[in-house]
Copies of this chain bind each other. A is one copy, B any other.
Amino acid sequence: MIIIGELINGTRSKVKEAIASRDSDYIAALATRQAEAGADFIDCNPGTVGDQEAEDMQWLVATIQAATDRPISFDSPNPQAVQRGLETYTGAAMPMINSVTMEPGSVEKMLPIVLEAKVNVVALALGEGGMPTQPGQREQVAQQIIDRLTAGGIEPQQIFVDPIIAPLCTAAEVGQHILEAIAAIRQYCPDCHITSGLSNISFGLPNRRLMNRAFLGLAMQAGMDSAVMDPLDKKIMAHIIAVEALLGQDEFCMNYIQACRAGRLDV
Chain A contact residues, CB within 8 Å of chain B = 168-169, 171-173, 175-176, 179, 201, 205-207, 210-211, 214-215, 217-218, 221-222, 238-239, 242-243, 245-253, 256-257, 260, 265-267
Alpha-carbon separation in the docked complex, A249 to B171 (Å): 11
Contacts of A266 in B (CB 8 A): 207
Counted per complex, copies of this chain come to: 2
Given A175-B246, A245-B175: A252 touches B169 (CB 8 Å cut-off): yes
Whether A172 pairs with B242 at a CB distance below 8 angstroms is no
Whether B265 pairs with A206 at a CB distance below 8 angstroms is yes
Listed by A's residue number, 12 A-B pairs whose Cβ atoms lie within 8 Å are A169-B253, A172-B248, A173-B248, A201-B246, A206-B257, A206-B265, A207-B238, A211-B246, A214-B242, A217-B218, A218-B218, A218-B243
Alpha-carbon separation in the docked complex, A257 to B179 (Å): 22
Alpha-carbon separation in the docked complex, A210 to B260 (Å): 11
Contacts of A256 in B (CB 8 A): 205, 207, 211
Q: Chain B nearest CB: distance from A154 CB in Å?
A: 31
Q: Chain B nearest CB: distance from A200 CB in Å?
A: 13
Whether B246 pairs with A214 at a CB distance below 8 angstroms is yes
Alpha-carbon separation in the docked complex, A108 to B245 (Å): 39
Contacts of A206 in B (CB 8 A): 257, 260, 265
Contact of A243 among B207, B214, B265 (CB under 8 A): B214
Alpha-carbon separation in the docked complex, A265 to B168 (Å): 17
Given A205-B253, A205-B257, A207-B265: A247 touches B176 (CB 8 Å cut-off): yes
Given A245-B168, A247-B175: A265 touches B221 (CB 8 Å cut-off): no
Sorted nearest first, the 8 A-B pairs with minimum C-beta distance are A214-B242, A175-B246, A206-B260, A207-B265, A217-B217, A172-B251, A172-B248, A176-B248
Contact of A245 among B179, B211, B245, B252 (CB under 8 A): B211
Alpha-carbon separation in the docked complex, A220 to B210 (Å): 16
Whether A238 pairs with B218 at a CB distance below 8 angstroms is no
Closest-by-CB residue of B relative to A221 is: B218
Q: Chain B nearest CB: distance from A73 CB in Å?
A: 26
Whether A250 pairs with B172 at a CB distance below 8 angstroms is yes
Alpha-carbon separation in the docked complex, A222 to B171 (Å): 21
